[in-house]
Amino acid sequence: MSRNGQWYPPEWPDRIRAHARGELTPVTPRRAATVMLLRDTPPPEPPTGDAGPAATATGPAVYLLRRRTSMAFAGGAYAYPGGGVDPRDEGEVAWAGPSTEEWADRLGVPAVEAQAVVCAAVRETFEEAGVLLAGPDAVSVVADTTGSDWEDDRRALVAREVSFADFLARRKLVLRSDLLSAWARWITPEFEDRRYDTWFFVAALPAGQRTRDVSTESDRTVWATPADAAAGYDRGEFLMMPPTIATLRELTELTAGRAAADVLAAAGSRDLTPIVASARMEGDEIVLSWPGHHEFEKRISTV
């Protein structure tokens, strides 16, 4: 269901009522990670002749996938590459960049959990977009992942036939945790039957690499400036969950005229307090709200 572009499951009212009556036991959220992949865009062509303003950069574009309508969770909605943590993401993995302890301080979780979340972010970006934030050493990154051998590896990861750590080890690669910056943390509401504790990261598309439409969970991909994507949502053309449109609006404020690297640097000071929706009864209405994000507040009549 869509309300001005916002993904809104039709079963929510009944589940919210049950939750308000104490008849629903919240599901434990599954740990997950998603990556807002940015690509620098060239400035417009300069005007010819002596008249006219100088050309300026429009800022980076962000990569979005449209989830297939057959998907049980957020079908038809646009989202970033991402997914759940694989338990094997907690195992030993070749690592470069900030240590797992440094990431633990940044994310506010134990080091083993911080590693799993960062690992999931890098792994899912490769699985769903064909982009790999890894390299042969701490200062370089893979330049091309488009060959058939890379595709075989990607499919094996998707099928969970191989762990991400084993994949990196066989390729003699290290995960480049310095290519990511933490952006936000959103937790699915307690009344949802599928819940995720999702970390949002931002990363720049590595030089030489390109995204590929390889995810079996999506039916369309698009590169768009955050402003254009948000405008599509406002027109009702792009269906999105609250975390997606909220982060797009935040990106819009930071990206205009800036490079992707500037956005990553600015992300280092962002507040990572979890954002969780709440539901309460006001008379005959259910009021659904997200702290700090008033545009998503919904009032649902119970009569």
> How confident is the model over 239-293, as pLDDT tens digits?
998 899 999 999 998 887 789 999 999 998 899 999 988 777 777 777 878 888 8
pLDDT of residue 54: 36
Q: Are residues 29 and 199 in contact, defined by beta-carbon separation less than 8 angstroms?
A: no
In the predicted model, is pLDDT for residue 55 greater than 60? no
Is 281 contained in some domain?
Answer: no
pLDDT single digits (tens) 86-130 = 999 999 999 999 999 999 999 999 999 999 999 999 999 999 999
Provide the number of structural domains found in the chain.
1
Is 105 contained in some domain?
Answer: yes
pLDDT of residue 192: 78
Mean pLDDT within 149-178: 96
Is 147 contained in some domain?
Answer: yes
In CATH, what number is assigned to the domain containing residue 178?
3.90.79.10
Q: Return the higher-pLDDT residue of 58 and 8.
A: 58
Q: What are phi and psi of 80, to 5 degrees?
A: -95, 160
Q: Are residues 185 and 274 in contact, defined by beta-carbon separation less than 8 angstroms?
A: yes
Is 302 contained in some domain?
Answer: no
pLDDT of residue 288: 79
In the predicted model, is pLDDT for residue 20 greater than 80? no
Is 286 contained in some domain?
Answer: no
| pTM confidence score | 0.87
Distance, CA of 115 to CA of 44 (rounded, Å)? 40
Name the band, by pLDDT with cuts 50, 70 and 90, for residue 26. confident
Distance, CA of 80 to CA of 101 (rounded, Å)? 26
pLDDT of residue 193: 78
Distance, CA of 24 to CA of 14 (rounded, Å)? 11
Distance, CA of 134 to CA of 123 (rounded, Å)? 10
Is 279 contained in some domain?
Answer: no
Is 235 contained in some domain?
Answer: no
Q: 53-62, 168-177, 217-226 — which is least confidently predicted? A: 53-62
pLDDT of residue 17: 73
Instruction: Provide the residue range defining the domain that includes 140.
Output: 29-41+58-226+243-270
Q: Are residues 115 and 187 in contact, defined by beta-carbon separation less than 8 angstroms?
A: no
pLDDT of residue 69: 66
Is 247 contained in some domain?
Answer: yes
